[in-house]
Amino acid sequence: MVEWTEQERDIINSIFSSLDYEDIGPKALSRCLIVYPWTQRYFGGFGNLYNANAIKSNPMIAAHGIRVLHGLDRAVKNMDNIKATYAELSVLHSEKLHVDPDNFKLLADCLTIVIAAKLGSAFTPEVQATFQKFVAVVVSALGRQYH
């Protein structure tokens, strides 16, 4: 059972309430596909991923990045029960999408870096620790139904 302090809840709510999903989502996903090119294996039907510029301007990737980022909303709204909240999505990623769960961490790291670039001095060590704790819990919940 993950414990959250009031301060941690405030930090997470603050980050997500002021988040520009249309900007951050595409940036995080495209960065993941560029920095860790093997993750492109899951995007065979997404058109041109030939180089960094193609990935960055690919509208299907952008749309998917927004979708994935909104997927975090349910964790923000259910911070005390992230494990159960993601049970269905975990099954989906395992049984249907066949995503290696190690990849979740790669995307989480890219998202952290995109948020670090966006928030500037507001991204203090404490904010970073809270954000990384949050994504780590989501990553763990997404990997839980794999067998």
How many CA atoms within 13 Å lie on the side-chain side of 140? 12
Size of the site for another protein (CB under 8 A): 22
CB of 123 to another protein, least distance (A): 6
Between residue 36 and residue 95, which ones bind another protein under the rule CB under 8 A?
Answer: 52, 55-56
Token reading at 135: 């994504």
Smallest separation, CB 35 to another protein (Å):
5
Name which position in 30, 39, 94, 103 contacts another protein (CB under 8 A): 30
CA–CA separation, 37 and 14 (whole Å): 32
DSSP string, 20-88: -HHHHHHHHHHHHHHHSGGGGGGGTTS---SSHHHHHT-HHHHHHHHHHHHTTHHHHHTGGGHHHHTHH
| Interaction of residue 31 with another protein, rule CB under 8 A | yes
* Nearest-approach distance from CB 114 to another protein, in angstroms: 7
Residues that bind another protein (CB under 8 A): 30-31, 34-35, 52, 55-56, 109, 112-114, 116-120, 123, 125-126, 128-129, 132
